[in-house]
Copies of this chain bind each other. A is one copy, B any other.
């Protein structure tokens, strides 16, 4: 079997203008970035078109290798197209940081990919870079304000706005800036997050329009004054410049699947440390120009999916008609106690034990008023007996389940799954889990008990102080974005399966008044990843003709 990059490079792409034409996108809305990528100019679209139905793709709790969620989604889209439907895909843009680390691309794999994969994984149309620039321009304006007399009285010890970079760089987590004497700024402790975890990313992902973007940017809280008043980006007159830096980035990016299905790939917040979905605008545009949209929410029902319903769907008035939970036999065995390096060995008992994890994810999705379909992403090591156990479980638990073999077969490997998804679509209203008006504590407690199966929530002394700040400033009625490990329903990565009655530890609560939510940091989750001992970057090379190899 050739590698992902081999398959992607061997594929003959259609001109992006042709992909756009088939989707019905107006010709003057297509802003080309080369021949195979384009931005869609939102001002040229027809808002009166009817909406296609929206299907959310999520997963069970993953192994460290990932379960191929994007791959299944892309294969499913190609299958729907082959069956005569007019699908569109809306997914996140990959972050460059992990590309240099260990993680594979976020553009699918094998014969179920979004292409051009090298471009999508490196720079793409520059959205991450624009966000990094806007983020760090705001940081420079803050430090400059303090340096130039500090008219607003910003307390340098309480600047909450961090710089960001789209790299995996642990050395930037905790830094001291402004050293070197009087001419070089005011020294203070601060840090960098990865761009995917920045509030800028969340803002771009949740903005409903250019004007809404501007308002949200102005509303960002950058820190506090010596007398405890919050300081916003608007107080620094920064929102105009920040908006100018993000005008192009607000337009969704159009590419294609190997099956020629249009794919909008736009914004890329991680689902563990951020809100985990592609942009609201991309999802909206996709619905206008397709009859069925497959959209992604990262990791499991506890992370991306919960945030999709409670944050993105809430802000965007999105109705969801269906959901797919991607599972693998190896991840079921992993969640049932099998060792990480023995997941290709047949192990019926571990598989049976791990089904509690999938069961919890299925139940979680049902709580939002949607009927999930389980997609089993097949691997070569899966045995007939193991597959039979899974089918039996589905039948006895009244769960719709189909196998998919998209990595090796592309869309052809997902026809049965496609039919099952279509059979399970509803027209119901999407529900949310909690009412933010009931306060931050209630929101967190509801997610913790209903979705994570936790028994209680424990706040660190810092989190209790943060809670007071939220309440004092009227921010405790915002939805909550919980930053949590993807490996467990709890905040402890080694607690696999379906832990119950555990304690969720809230370390810190961060107001994200621009994005419009509160980030709750739990466990030891960090917002700036590091590189491994052998970074993937070391294997990347470029041939004389410009062809990249070693990229996945």
Contacts and interface: CB of A to CB of B under 8 A. Distances in A.
A88 interface: no
Contacts of A180: 173-174
Interface stretch (A161-169, A258-266, A290-298, A409-417): A161-169
A140 interface: yes
Contact of A175 (B149, B175, B532, B539): B175
B133 A169 contact: no
A153 interface: no
A210 interface: yes
B122 A244 contact: yes
Interface string A512-548: 0000000000000000001111010111111011101
Nearest to A543: B210
A357 interface: no
A535 B133 CA distance: 16
B542 A210 contact: yes
B136 A531 contact: no
Nearest to A125: B126
Contacts of A531: 140-141, 144, 148
B133 A96 contact: yes
A104 interface: no
A526 B339 CA distance: 55
Contact of A530 (B33, B144, B540): B144
B32 A210 contact: no
Interface in A162-198: 165-180, 183-186, 189
B171 A140 contact: yes
Number of copies: 2
B537 A238 contact: yes
Nearest to A236: B538
A43 B172 contact: no
Of the candidates A32, A177, A530, A550, the one having the most CB atoms from chain B within 10 angstroms of its own CB is: A177
Contacts of A240: 537-542, 550
Contact of A533 (B31, B33, B149): B149
A35 interface: yes
A137 interface: yes
Contacts of A530: 144, 147, 185
A60 interface: no
Interface in A140-158: 140-141, 143-144, 147-149
26 contacts: A32-B33, A33-B33, A34-B39, A100-B140, A123-B129, A129-B130, A132-B132, A136-B165, A136-B169, A137-B167, A140-B168, A140-B531, A141-B531, A143-B170, A143-B171, A144-B535, A147-B530, A173-B185, A174-B179, A210-B546, A211-B544, A237-B537, A238-B537, A238-B538, A240-B537, A240-B541
Interface of A: 31-35, 39, 43, 96, 100, 118, 122-123, 126, 129-130, 132-133, 136-137, 139-141, 143-144, 147-149, 165-180, 183-186, 189, 210-211, 214, 236-238, 240-241, 243-245, 247-248, 530-533, 535, 537-542, 544-546, 548, 550-551
Given A139-B167, A140-B171, A171-B178, 7 more contacts: A143-B169, A147-B171, A171-B185, A172-B177, A175-B177, A176-B179, A237-B537
3 closest residue pairs by CB, A with B:
A129-B129, A174-B180, A171-B185
